[in-house]
Amino acid sequence: MSILETDRLILSELKTKDAKFIHKLYNDQDFINYIGDKGIHSVQDALSFINTGPKQSYKNHGHGLYLVKLKDETSIGVCGLLKRDDLDLPDIGFAILPDYRRMGFIYEASKAVIEDAKNRLHLDSLFAITTPDNNESINLLKKLGFTLKDIIKRDKNNEPIQLYAIYLDS
Task: Give pLDDT, residue 156.
Answer: 65
Q: What is the DSSP string of 111-165?
A: HHHHHHHHHTS--SEEEEEE-TT-HHHHHHHHHHT-EEEEEEE-STT--EEEEEE
**The CATH fold of domain 2-167:** Aminopeptidase (3.40.630)
> Which stretches of the chain score pLDDT less than 70?
1-2, 154-158, 170
| pLDDT value at residue 153 | 80
Q: How confident is the model at residue 152, as a pLDDT?
A: 85
pLDDT of residue 33: 85
Query: For residue 157, what pLDDT is reported?
Result: 65
**All structural domains of the chain with their residue ranges:** 2-167
pLDDT of residue 159: 77
Predicted pLDDT of residue 3:
85
